[in-house]
Amino acid sequence: MPIVEQYHRRIVLRGARRPHDRLILFLLLPLSLAYGAISWIRGKGYDLGLLPGYRAPVKVISVGNISVGGTGKTPVVDWLVKCLLEQGQRPAIVSRGYGGSFAGEVGIVSAGRGLQLSPAEAGDEPCLLARRNPSVPVLIAKKRAAGVRRAVEEFAASPVILDDGFQHRAVRRDVDLVLVDGKHPLGNGLPLPAGLLREFPAALSRADLLLVTRATGTSASLPVDRPTWKSCHRLADYAVDFQGGQVSLAELAGKRLLAFAGIADPDNFFAGLEDVGVAIEKKFVLGDHERYDVSTLQKINTAANGLDALLTTEKDGVKLAANMFSIPCLQVPMDISIENEVEFKAELFRQLWRN
């Protein structure tokens, strides 16, 4: 992870402990207030009908958050897709394609018949969702309305899931499912750049449902009164190689391992491995949406010299291949467990199909 990014997350989430930390946050505060004010004014434009919003002819569910990175949207979108498929629906996923190089209006990551765009073009998260749900269309579009139209017209999708859509109000939605990190629900409560929020905390009042992720014990209180549910992320008890073969994590006991991750909060991944009994000898922290160029791969291979295997996340794994490494590299899948899942699912679909 870049040093500046790592430092920023530390002082925002853990507090400004030194005088120069406090000075930096003080200097950033006016920018945060301006950023939050612009977001608020823009939101009011949609609330009052001054800014247009596209209404799709099918139901639309947004899965988003109020902070940048690390709330675990991808496992939730994957869970939601599988629930809709079980109901006999024909869902499609529309994402922005963050981190990808695709420059067209709408990109078809998958038409339900395998990947058509690479992670470098589409971004890692859309490709991971397409790989996990091979029968489901996955599209990317900077202007999400164009992606939703294409999903409906070309693939007869119903409903459409907006991945990371809470702030993208140019598309109207029937359900706003908003994720909040249980460990750091609102960070320090400030918008970017003095905090991690994309809007002021009061924006959570737009949510139809709140899902607290990584909830352990008593979750911190939130500033709005909305239907709230708890969940936790859990690593699978196996790892997967690049040919699709599975290896039980128990089989890795006694192995000398290096774990690396290019996600918003790599410490959660490392802690998850340790929680299931996987001893990590070395850890390698990379930036979110890491591109894995030659230099980065060389650093990983050098750090892994003399070890038995590498472990990484599925999100990283979609950008990698076995021949990039000098020793075996395994991906550990992650899923989500929702407290009172039956009731949560019932409420979600009650709101979705209420009209």
- Convert the pLDDT of each residue in 187-215 to its tens digit: 999 999 999 999 999 999 999 999 999 88
pLDDT of residue 2: 67
pLDDT of residue 220: 64
What would the mean pLDDT of 19-43 be, rounded to a whole number?
Answer: 96
pLDDT at residue 219 tops 80: no
Residue 9 main-chain phi, psi, to 5 deg: -60, -35
355: pLDDT strictly greater than 80: no
Tell me the pLDDT band of 102, cut-offs 50, 70 and 90: very high
Q: What span, in angstroms and rounded, lies between the C-alpha atoms of 125 and 42?
A: 27
Query: Options 3.30.1490, 3.40.50, 3.30.420, 1.10.10; which CATH number does 237-332 get?
Result: 3.40.50
The fold of 60-91+158-233+337-352 is Rossmann fold (3.40.50)
Strand ordering across the sheet containing 246-248: 246-248, 238-240, 329-332, 309-313, 257-261, 282-285
- Residue 10: which pLDDT band, with cuts at 50, 70 and 90? confident
* Gyration radius of the chain over CA positions: 20
Does the fold of domain 237-332 match that of domain 60-91+158-233+337-352?
yes
pLDDT for res 30 = 97
**What percent of the chain shows pLDDT beyond 70?**
98
What pTM did the predictor assign?
0.93
The answer to whether 130 touches 136, Cβ cutoff 8 Å, is yes
Q: In whole angstroms, give the CA distance from residue 34 to residue 27.
A: 13
How much is the pLDDT for 1? 52
What does the domain layout of the chain look like in residue ranges?
60-91+158-233+337-352, 237-332
The predicted model gives 284-305 an average pLDDT of 93
